[in-house]
Each structure stands twice: as structure tokens, then as C-alpha cells.
């Protein structure tokens, strides 16, 4: 039986005064409807559409709680909105979660109504959407939200400015107030008011007081940008549907959003945003609306930009450098490959150069992917082999063909040693034959060799991210973002933890008979410009987790603070492998990346490798997851801080 797709589509052109009308939102909904009906072979489609006066706040809330709630496990619930976005002043109870003290909001049809006596506000705020999505997630479906409006990168079209050059307008509403935000509402007007009190939000972390449900979000722009429409069409929706049609829907959320980002840059100052909120590893690399696709999302996307030319969405942060001699570009729909060379390499993307003959074969509207020879997102590893030669022969032959792997003699400065034992292959530190780093790989034939090679590739990616830094940084004097660790005391107070040489050392404490502990992490932008910031967690089992912050990459204004896990406690775990092998510390690594340019770290994410002990699979990590001359230009920086928690049993 095919899964269901419950799709709630909302579009508003005509608003009551004083909200100015839009032109393309109803058209956008019609295009979305047409696309879904024409591409519904993989699921049973059930659709509800709210247009103009039917798109009241009450109707949208009911659409979530009644219509979308029909989706269950294995199904997909899609919410699409095209219309105005705005901001409203936040209640003081929410200030610690909103550094600008404002909420992002959708302007429903009855969101702002003006009469002779007063103006009333009935907006659908981002925290209300959070509440609705969490309710919906309890039913078990995959949830996808798409917003073609302004202030959408943080919720969930911008001030209606009179500059409508060439038929371009913005989808944003600002009231005529200096704050450029709608006034704060009485608490009882929030749809969650009966369940969530202001006091609860003042004293508890946001994930506890108002949890978020797992979902994929695609948004037209950053919260500080405008979403544009031109010639009666939303730029974001039009571009998205063009890419979906060009790829026959065989595209991941990641590739879709990345291609859109570069596609729109040529005409509009809007940068589509995407993230997986609370979703499982790799969800961004799943096919759009659950369609099956090939690949893991690690291939490069190639898109044409009128200003920059042909762009590859891989850059210095992904290991791309001048040593890459050529890039092979292939059209998704087939055709002969085309060879390019690398031009300028930026942190998150690169410029491709084509010869005249190759350039004439390219079409600006075509969808292309890049094929690069090894070394991408991988640290070169030196591997020693230890054991009977015949047992290691398949592995040796396999590793000799694997890019980035160098075989060295045992006893030399190897990064890791693969040892052949009677029970199979184990990977260990070079001088620790009895300290496996992963589950033993059973057997010693080709299948075991292939799996060992896959483990080493996984480790090489982890090592690359762990050692990532910018040797050519020139704007920053030190790291531009301050990171602070705090130990949560039994009383709930926070005690600063010293960082010495990029290491933080602490102890476990016994709580209810279990070795545990609680810490919190705070970031502060110390630089004079807005920065894009990400905080990654790397476990000793080779996991890379990019969602310690509210999004994989957040924007931080000068002086702005942000807390990991939205201010929630980070619980310390004592992994069994630390006690079994009498390791002095349980290590965890935090990679802090900051850039003046937008970047993305979704490609970095990877799950942990199987733990050495079968009973240790649920304890894979040490934390529970959850001048007179002024330089100008762009720069990026990375810092690794290691948290060492002492083994209390030795």
C-alpha cells in the first residue's frame, strides 16, 4: 500500500487594509498543486488548499490539527505557505530565546486588520508553528514545511517597499513604526497559552517548555532578507519547481536547497535556507517528499549564476584546493561528461572554468553534478596492517586502490592499525593492540575487507573535520567567536570551566548511582560584523553531529550570544569502552566554525561507527545528544575544543 501525502497549501494575495496585496502567491499555490498532482505516483495524495479569505489563522491551525493529522507513520505531511511574513515584539518570557526580542510570524488573512477605532493583530508566530509541528509529529509522519515569504529562515513576503523595479516586489509587511515589528500580543492569544505559561518559559529550556517536532524546513530566505516575487510569481517557488521538474523529483532536500541558493543569487538578494529540525542523521539527503534517490549527498552540485558564472557548491571547507586538477561535470539527465578546471575557491563554493568547446555544450537551465577524484572531505590516513599476510591480502589489495590511504609498515607513525585476529578485523590506535575503536569486523575475506575500507573512509571524514582550519585567515585576531563551558551545579547554578590550551577537563559525579554530569556551552560573537556560526560535536566513535545550535548554521550579530541546545543541559555519559579499556578520559570534541560568508555543514554529518562492545551501542559518546588600516573582505575560522571527562574508575 502506498504511503499518504497530506498536503496543506496556503496562498494569500488579497489582504484587508493596511496590509498591501501581493500578486504571485495564489499562482504559487496553483503551481504547487499542479506539480503534486502530476507527480503523485509514489503516494496517495490528499490535498487541502486555503486561498485569500479562507486562509485565516483559525483555518490554518485547524488544517494542522485536523487535516495534516491524518498522516501517520510512513506518511508525509507537507505544509506550504506563500504570502506575507513579518515580525512581532516578543513577550519578555521569550526574550532569552530571541536575541532581537522579536518573533517571526506568518501574516494570515486576518493577521492584521484595521478599523476606524483600532488595528488588531492575529499573527501565526514561529513559536506557534513550533507547537503545531510538535503536535503533528506525535502521529509519526515525516513533516516538511516550505515557506515562500520574508522572515521565513527563522520560522518557520518582507517590508512592502515601493521599489517595484522590473515588476519585482518583496513579500514582507512592516507596520509604520520605528521598531518595524508588530506589537507584542497578550499571552492568552498564543494557541499554546493554556499549556505553556510565561513562567515555564522563563525557567525551563525551550526544548523542554516548548519542544520542537522533527521536520524538514525549506525557506525562501534568511530571516534578515526579503523573499521576492516577479511577474506574478514567487522567485523561490518558481525556482524550486523548475529544479524538481528538471530532475524528475530525483533530488535530495540538500541538493534542491543548494541549487536554489545559487540559482536565485543571480537576480535576488535572497538566500534559501534549509535544515532538519530534530530529524535523524542524513534526512536532508533523502529524496524530496520521500522519493528514493541514488547517492549520499556528497557529490557536488553545479549551477549557473549570471554574476559569477558556473558555480560548484564545494569549497575550502570541504577539502577543495589547488591540487584538484580537473572536475568532471555530468548532466543529471545523461549525456557526455564535460571537463572543467577550478577557478576561485571560496569557503563554501568554487568557480568552475570551461574551455570554449566545453562551454558551448552547457545549458544554464540544465541540472549538473560534479565528479571529483578522491580526497574530498577526507583526511589522508596512514594505515598499518598487523597479522598473517594471507589473512590481510584482500584488505591490502583494497586499500591500495583507495584514495587518501597510505599503507605503512607496522611500528611506524601510523594513524591507525588494522589487525587480523581469529574473530576478524579490528581497528586500533597504532600502539594499542587490545583497544579496538569499533566493533570487530567478522571474517577476513573480501566482504570484511570492503567493510573495513568503509570504516576507514568514515574515519577519514571525521579526521578531516576534526583538523579543519583556515591557514590563510587574515581578518580575525584569534577566533572571532568566544566559547565558554559551564558546569551545572546541583543547585542549578552555573560554574565556569577553565579552557587551557583548547582543552576543558572535568569530572563525573554520581547521580542516583550513575556516573553523570551536566554542562552548558555559550557562544558570543566578539567580532564587529555579522558572522555565520556552527558548532559541531565529534564523538570518539567517529560521529559528527552538526545540530548543537538551533540550526546547523546560525547568524550572530556583534555581541550576540547563543547557547548550545537552546540553553538546555548537556548530559555527560560514561561510555563503557572508557571503563572496559581503562582509558584515563572520556573525550568529546567541539568544532566551532565562523565565517563572514554563508556556509553549510550538513555534508559533515555522519552517524557513529558500531561501538567495540555490543552492549555499548546506546552509549557511543561522552555527551547525550542533544587599526588605521581596516582589512575588508571575507574570512573564516575554525577552532577545536576538547572536553576531557576523567574516568572515575581509575
pLDDT tens-digit map of 401-450: 888 899 998 767 899 999 999 889 999 999 899 899 999 998 888 989 99
Per cent of the chain over pLDDT 70 is 88
* Distance, CA of 349 to chain centre: 17
Question: Is pLDDT at 556 greater than 60 in this prediction?
Answer: yes
User: How many Cβ atoms sit within 10 Å of the Cβ of residue 246?
Assistant: 17
Grid cell at residue 246: 528538471
Mean pLDDT within 152-181: 44
Complete DSSP assignment for 310-333: EEES--GGGT--TT---EEEEETT
Question: Is pLDDT at 50 greater than 70 in this prediction?
Answer: yes
Collect all residues with Cβ–Cβ distance below 8 Å to 238 and sequence separation of at least 6: 28, 31
With bands split at pLDDT 50, 70 and 90, how would you rate the model's confidence at 187? very high
Q: Which of 265-269, 472-476, 502-506 has the lowest mean pLDDT?
A: 265-269
- Report the phi/psi class of residue 580: left, alpha or beta, with left for phi > 0 and alpha for psi in -120 to 50: alpha
Fold of 381-467: Rossmann fold (3.40.50)
Grid cell at residue 331: 548532466
Asked whether the beta carbons of 47 and 112 are under 8 A apart, the reply is no
Every domain of the chain with CATH number 2.40.10 lies at 300-371
Question: Is pLDDT at 168 greater than 60 in this prediction?
Answer: no
Task: Report which listed range, 180-184, 337-341, 410-414, is most confident.
Answer: 337-341
Q: Which of 57-61, 259-263, 347-351 has the lowest mean pLDDT?
A: 259-263
DSSP single-letter state for residue 287:
B
Mean pLDDT within 483-499: 94
User: How many Cβ atoms sit within 10 Å of the Cβ of residue 116?
Assistant: 4
Q: Which of 190-194, 561-565, 610-614 has the lowest mean pLDDT?
A: 610-614
Collect all residues with Cβ–Cβ distance below 8 Å to 67 and sequence separation of at least 6: 6, 8, 46, 48
CATH class, range 481-646: mainly beta
Question: Is pLDDT at 37 greater than 90 in this prediction?
Answer: yes
Q: How far apart are the first and last CA of the chain?
A: 56
pLDDT attached to residue 402: 86
Per cent of the chain over pLDDT 90 is 46
The CATH architecture that domain 300-371 belongs to is: Beta Barrel (2.40)
pLDDT tens-digit series, residues 614-639: 544 444 445 665 433 344 566 788 88
3-state SS, residue 198: helix
Mean pLDDT within 550-571: 91
pLDDT tens-digit series, residues 64-117: 999 999 999 999 999 999 999 999 999 999 988 887 788 999 999 999 988 888
Mean pLDDT within 307-319: 87
Question: Is pLDDT at 158 greater than 50 in this prediction?
Answer: no
Exposed e or buried b per residue across 46-63, where buried means at least 16 C-beta atoms within 10 angstroms of its C-beta? bbbbbbbeebbbebbbbb
Distance CA 640, CA 463 (A): 12
With bands split at pLDDT 50, 70 and 90, how would you rate the model's confidence at 294? low
Question: Is pLDDT at 281 greater than 60 in this prediction?
Answer: no
271, 231, 7, 60: CA torsion to nearest 10: 90
With bands split at pLDDT 50, 70 and 90, how would you rate the model's confidence at 375? low
Q: In what order do the strands lie in the sheet with 381-386?
A: 405-408, 381-386, 416-421, 424-428, 441-442
Top-confidence residue, 463 or 623:
463
Every domain of the chain with CATH number 2.60.40.10 lies at 481-646
Q: How far is CA 312 from CA 275, 328, 474, in A?
A: 20, 11, 24
pLDDT attached to residue 261: 80
Q: Which long-range contacts (CB under 8 A, 24 or more apart) does 494-501 make?
A: 494/520, 499/641
CATH of domain 4-290: 3.40.50.1460
Question: Is pLDDT at 231 greater than 60 in this prediction?
Answer: yes
pLDDT tens-digit series, residues 377-414: 788 899 999 999 999 999 999 999 888 899 998 767 89
Top-confidence residue, 165 or 86:
86
Q: Against a cut of 0.75, is the pTM above it? A: no
DSSP single-letter state for residue 337:
-
Every domain of the chain with CATH number 3.40.50.1460 lies at 4-290
Mean pLDDT within 14-36: 94
Distance CA 457, CA 454 (A): 5
Q: Could you identify the residue written with the cell 560535536?
A: 537
pLDDT tens-digit series, residues 110-136: 999 888 888 889 999 999 999 999 999
pLDDT attached to residue 128: 97
Top-confidence residue, 336 or 158:
336
Asked whether the beta carbons of 227 and 220 are under 8 A apart, the reply is yes
Judge residue 381's burial from the number of C-beta atoms within 10 Å of its C-beta, 0-12 exposed, 13-18 middle, 19 or more buried.
Answer: buried
Mean pLDDT within 339-359: 89
Q: For the chain, how big is the Rg over CA atoms in Å?
A: 26
Distance CA 637, CA 526 (A): 13
**What is the helix (H) or strand (E) element at residue 636, kind and residue range?**
strand 636-646
Amino acid at each position: 500500500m502506498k504511503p499518504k501525502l497530506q498536503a496543506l497549501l496556503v496562498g494569500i494575495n488579497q489582504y484587508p487594509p493596511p496590509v498591501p496585496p501581493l500578486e504571485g502567491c495564489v499562482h504559487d499555490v496553483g503551481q504547487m498543486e499542479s506539480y503534486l498532482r502530476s507527480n503523485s505516483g509514489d503516494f496517495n495524495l490528499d490535498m487541502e488548499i486555503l486561498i485569500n479569505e479562507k486562509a485565516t489563522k483559525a483555518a490554518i491551525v485547524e488544517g494542522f490539527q485536523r487535516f495534516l493529522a491524518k498522516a501517520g507513520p510512513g506518511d508525509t505531511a507537507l505544509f506550504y505557505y506563500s504570502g506575507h511574513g513579518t515580525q512581532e515584539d516578543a513577550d519578555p518570557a521569550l526574550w532569552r530565546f530571541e536575541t532581537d526580542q522579536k518573533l517571526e510570524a506568518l501574516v494570515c488573512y486576518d493577521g492584521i486588520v484595521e478599523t476606524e477605532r483600532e488595528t488588531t493583530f492575529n499573527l501565526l508566530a514561529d513559536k506557534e508553528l513550533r507547537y503545531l509541528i510538535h503536535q503533528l509529529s506525535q502521529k509519526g509522519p515525516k513533516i516538511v514545511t516550505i515557506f515562500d515569504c520574508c522572515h521565513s529562515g527563522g520560522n518557520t513576503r518582507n517590508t512592502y517597499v515601493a521599489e517595484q523595479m522590473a515588476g519585482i516586489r518583496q513579500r514582507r509587511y512592516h507596520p509604520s513604526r520605528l521598531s518595524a515589528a508588530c506589537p507584542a500580543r497578550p499571552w492568552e492569544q498564543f494557541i499554546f497559552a493554556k499549556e505553556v505559561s510565561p513562567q515555564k518559559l522563563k525557567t525551563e529550556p525551550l526544548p523542554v517548555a516548548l519542544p520542537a517536532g522533527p521536520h524538514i524546513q525549506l525557506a525562501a530566505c534568511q530571516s534578515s532578507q526579503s523573499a521576492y516575487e516577479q511577474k506574478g510569481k514567487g522567485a523561490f517557488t518558481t525556482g524550486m519547481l523548475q529544479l524538481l521538474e528538471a530532475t524528475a523529483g530525483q533530488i535530495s532536500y540538500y541538493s534542491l536547497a543548494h541549487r536554489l541558493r545559487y540559482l536565485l543569487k543571480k537576480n535576488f538578494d535572497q538566500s534559501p535556507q534549509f535544515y532538519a529540525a530534530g530529524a535523524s542523521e542524513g534526512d536532508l539527503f533523502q529524496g524530496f517528499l520521500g522519493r528514493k534517490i541514488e547517492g549520499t549527498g556528497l557529490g557536488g552540485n553545479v549551477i549557473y549564476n549570471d554574476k559569477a558564472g558556473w558555480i560548484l557548491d564545494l569549497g575550502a571547507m570541504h577539502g577543495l584546493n589547488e591540487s584538484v586538477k580537473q572536475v568532471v561535470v555530468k548532466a543529471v539527465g545523461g549525456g557526455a561528461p564535460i571537463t572543467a578546471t577550478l577557478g576561485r575557491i571560496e569557503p563554501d563554493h568554487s568557480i568552475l572554468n570551461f574551455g570554449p568547446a566545453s562551454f558551448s555544450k552547457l545549458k544554464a537551465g540544465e541540472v549538473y553534478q560534479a565528479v571529483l577524484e578522491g580526497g574530498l572531505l577526507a583526511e589522508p590516513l596512514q594505515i598499518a596492517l598487523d597479522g598473517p599476510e594471507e589473512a590481510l591480502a584482500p584488505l591490502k589489495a583494497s586499500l591500495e586502490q583507495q584514495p587518501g590511504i597510505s599503507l605503512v609498515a607496522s611500528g611506524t607513525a601510523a594513524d591507525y592499525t588494522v589487525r587480523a585476529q581469529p574473530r576478524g578485523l579490528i581497528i586500533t590506535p597504532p600502539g594499542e593492540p587490545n583497544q579496538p575503536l569499533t566493533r570487530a569486523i567478522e571474517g577476513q575475506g573480501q566482504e570484511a575487507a570492503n567493510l573495513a575500507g568503509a570504516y576507514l573512509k568514515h574515519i577519514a571524514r571525521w579526521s578531516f573535520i576534526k583538523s579543519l582550519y583556515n591557514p590563510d585567515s587574515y581578518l580575525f585576531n584569534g577566533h572571532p567567536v568566544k566559547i565558554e563551558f559551564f558546569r551545572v551545579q546541583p543547585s542549578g547554578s552555573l560554574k565556569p570551566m577553565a579552557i587551557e590550551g583548547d582543552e576543558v577537563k572535568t569530572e563525573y559525579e554520581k547521580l542516583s548511582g550513575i556516573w553523570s554530569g551536566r554542562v552548558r556551552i555559550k557562544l558570543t560573537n566578539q567580532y564587529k560584523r555579522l558572522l555565520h556560526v556552527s558548532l559541531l560535536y565529534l564523538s570518539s566513535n567517529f560521529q559528527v553531529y552538526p545540530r548543537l545550535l538551533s540550526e546547523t548554521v546560525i547568524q550572530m550579530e556583534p555581541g550576540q550570544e547563543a547557547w548550545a541546545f537552546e540553553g538546555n543541559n548537556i548530559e555527560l555519559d560514561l561510555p563503557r569502552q572508557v571503563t572496559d579499556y581503562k582509558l584515563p578520559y572520556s573525550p568529546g570534541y567541539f568544532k566551532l566554525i565562523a565565517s563572514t560568508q554563508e556556509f553549510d555543514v550538513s555534508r559533515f554529518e555522519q552517524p557513529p561507527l558500531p561501538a567495540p562492545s555490543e552492549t555499548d551501542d546506546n552509549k557511543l559518546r561522552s555527551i547525550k545528544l542533544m587599526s588605521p588600516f581596516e582589512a575588508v573582505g571575507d574570512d573564516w575560522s575554525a577552532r577545536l575544543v576538547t572536553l576531557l571527562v576523567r574516568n572515575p574508575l581509575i
